[in-house]
Amino acid sequence: MNGIRVVCPFEDEIYEVVELLKLQKDIEILKIKDYIKDPKKNGYRSLHLIVQVPIYSADGPQKEPVEIQLRTLAMDYWSVLEYQLYYKKSENEEVAAELKEYAEEIARLDGKMLKMRNKIEKI
């Protein structure tokens, strides 16, 4: 299955993108996995969609499944580094616990930046 990643500055924009995708007449959302509201055990946060999109060819349009991963900049930062440092490497409980702690710190910072953006918009 093919996929794309969409990186948004703020968490609320992720959900705005999902709502915009729901309005697309040619895209069908098949599955939603919200790891932002329900993070994985290791601290991973992201919102995954499995959608069907039309692919146009000489044989006419065909529907193909595509995975869309939506993250904030901070979520993407953690995920990329976690993958390089740890994913599919030796299981180490101490390292896993520390990476999860960092994921939680990054999520808190994401929330603070969203509050700051909202505060600035009111000025």
Q: Which of the residues are catalytic?
A: 67
Q: What count of Cα atoms within 13 Å lies in the side-chain half-sphere of residue 11? A: 20
Instruction: Tally DSSP H helices, then E strands, for the chain.
Output: 3, 4
Q: Please answer whether residues 47 and 35 qualify as being in contact, where contact means their C-beta atoms are separated by less than 8 angstroms.
A: yes
Per the structure block, which two tokens stand in for 69? Answer: 């991963």
DSSP SS3 for 28: strand
- The backbone torsions φ and ψ at residue 39, rounded to the nearest 5 degrees and listed phi first, read -60, 150
